[in-house]
Chain A
Amino acid sequence: MASALHQTAPIEVRWGAATDTGRTRAINEDAFLADAPVFVVADGMGGHEAGEVASAIAVSWFEAFVGLRSVDPAQVRVALAEAQREISQLVATTERSAGTTLTGVMVTEIESRGYWLVVNVGDSRTYRLAHGALTQISVDHSVIQELLEAGELDARLASQHPQRNVITRALGAGDPADPDFWLLPAELGDRILVCSDGLTNELGDDRIRSILTDEPDPNAAAVRLLRESLLHGGRDNLTVLVIDAVSVSGDDSDFARGFDTVPVTFARMDADDTIPRTPRSRTEQEH
């Protein structure tokens, strides 16, 4: 076992970050924090710079995690509750409507294994690129998402929907915060994308995936995503974080063991790679 003084992080990361006000907005109401082991983006809303303040408050509650080996979900729970309280107080004292989304990923450790702790409130997004496939991890807290889940809206029409910008949960703004959490075993080679909707409203998943796949350097990937979104119109504030897992403790995935041992199931490795049992079930063996 490693010495307590020289323990490596459960996930060693490299990262890049880029943010821009965009081409049409006057101020950047996005805020972000990108420093191991915490990577979060907050997209503020509310007039008279209230959104800018709200997103900055939300992110500030995560600064205490910078430099830790690993972040405990319970600490994140407390940070989110405190952020919700501080933003609500701001709303109460200034009588302005202010709120913010918050999503991102933190490094955590479970039974000596490196895990991604993903958190989400609102419609900013966290994605994971693994084995060439881009998967959206966070689930938007939005009217559109609720309609999609209820089967009342065709995904192709979502970008045209009049309520496409309405979110159902936020920090502050009188909404319930009610964050969602994910705990995902990290694998060597994982690339995480955390972004505000300024990116995803401009670029489709395929384009995002190909840029993330083409550009090995995380900072260059973040900058490319940002620039391409600006070329596409840049109609909103944009923030992009790209985080790469360069070493993962306890990662016994086929990927970590090297390509030569990857079985024929490589193509579906992000699905469950459990091997079906044959020929008899255990219940039959009992008799």
Chain B
Amino acid sequence: MTEVRYQPGGWFGLVSNSGLVLLPDQLSEDQLLAVWTTLEEGSGLAGILDALTTAFGLRLSSVPSFAIAIFDDRDLRIAVRGEVFVDIVERIDGQDVASELSGEAVTTWTEKAVRSPVSVSVRIEPEPGPLSPTLPISQGVVLASWMTATFYGALDDGHNDWDDEERTDEPEHDRTEDDYDGATMTAAQLRAMQQPVADSRADALPPASTARIDVSTGESFRLDGPIIIGRRPQALRVAPDEIPKLVSVPSPEQDISRSHLEIRVEGEEVVVRDLDTVNGSVLRRQGSAPSQLESGGSTRVLSNDVIDIGDGVSVTFVDLP
């Protein structure tokens, strides 16, 4: 899941379900729409760069400043040109690491690929400061000076898109522009000037996970991170990337413990743990007799497994990998 917020301002802020782009107001409507269409098509960073360089007649000096953050293959790919700034927080070796990227003092643009992004901000103010963009947007074009996307859940588990929707395959962008002078170049040439930023991963992506739990109270939750279910669930001493989703369920008889059942995604497996509860949890699996979950121990669950946590509340596992 991704949440995008922005600070109103004078630039064009484009937000689609695959990424965001910040462009100066000097763009004509046609130019803006060309970029927007490409962004909506999900053509990746190359597509956007192509649209931008095409819209400005392939003359490098005429290409405006920009900041782009877009999911491309498995990575969040970022490109920034001119005096525009990008703040990135990513998970590296078990740490949240912040960095800043800008296109200042670079002839073309600066690129970076981020494998495990936590958040990305694009802004025109040189000072990052503790300002926080406040207005929400899910998709569209706004006038903005600052946009922030925050990513929730396990993005490095095959999620390759803002919202895990099907992406169209990236089209080829082989342009054949022959009649240009030495000062201009094709988008492909421009890209070739950039140092490679990451290995290209051409192998097929795993399909976006649709694994979820259905709780008997009627709610469903995607399994994109840890979940704790209980009467009054809490999380104790967790790392930043392990902050669980807390799901409270009614238990008029106080049969269910405050924090009762923990659900974790471990690679391709989904694992549950009864959190040392007073009344325990029961696993119902087709073809097997119901069994009490070992208190405090981890158990792998499969699709269609049901766990009964008491007071008539059960959790059904759906579409597990």
Instruction: Tell me the A residues contacting B by CB distance below 8 Å.
Output: 60-65, 72-75, 77-82, 84-85, 110-111, 113, 115, 139, 176-185, 253, 272-277, 281-283, 286
Contact = CB atoms under 8 A, between A and B. Distances in A.
Contact of B258 (A62, A110, A274, A277): A274
Contact of B235 (A61, A181, A286): A181
Question: Top 5 nearest A-B pairs by Cβ distance?
Answer: A64-B132, A85-B98, A81-B98, A81-B96, A274-B278
A75 B238 contact: no
Contacts of B118: 74, 77-78, 81
Given A65-B132, A272-B257, A281-B280, A78 B89 contact: yes
22 contacts: A60-B130, A64-B130, A65-B132, A73-B240, A74-B119, A75-B150, A78-B89, A79-B130, A80-B96, A81-B96, A82-B98, A177-B96, A180-B239, A183-B246, A253-B232, A272-B277, A274-B231, A274-B258, A274-B279, A275-B278, A283-B291, A286-B282
Interface of B: 3, 87, 89, 94-100, 118-119, 128, 130-132, 150, 152, 231-240, 243-244, 246-248, 253-258, 277-280, 282, 289-292, 308, 310
A273 B278 CA distance: 9
B237 A62 contact: no
Identify whether the interface residues of A are mostly helix, strand, loop, or mixed: mixed
Given A61-B130, A82-B128, A277-B310, A180 B237 contact: yes
Contacts of B253: 275
Nearest to B97: A81
A176 B310 CA distance: 42
Contacts of B234: 182-185
A181 B150 contact: no
A276 B97 contact: no
A138 to B, nearest CB: 9
Contact of A283 (B132, B278, B290): B290
A182 B235 contact: yes
Contacts of B235: 181-183
Contacts of B94: 178
Given A81-B89, A281-B280, A286-B282, 17 more contacts: A65-B132, A73-B240, A73-B243, A80-B96, A81-B98, A84-B98, A85-B97, A85-B98, A111-B247, A178-B239, A179-B239, A181-B240, A182-B234, A185-B234, A185-B258, A272-B258, A272-B277
Nearest to B277: A274
Given A85-B99, A272-B278, A111 B246 contact: yes
Contacts of A177: 95-96
Given A111-B247, A113-B248, A183-B246, A77 B132 contact: no
B246 A64 contact: no
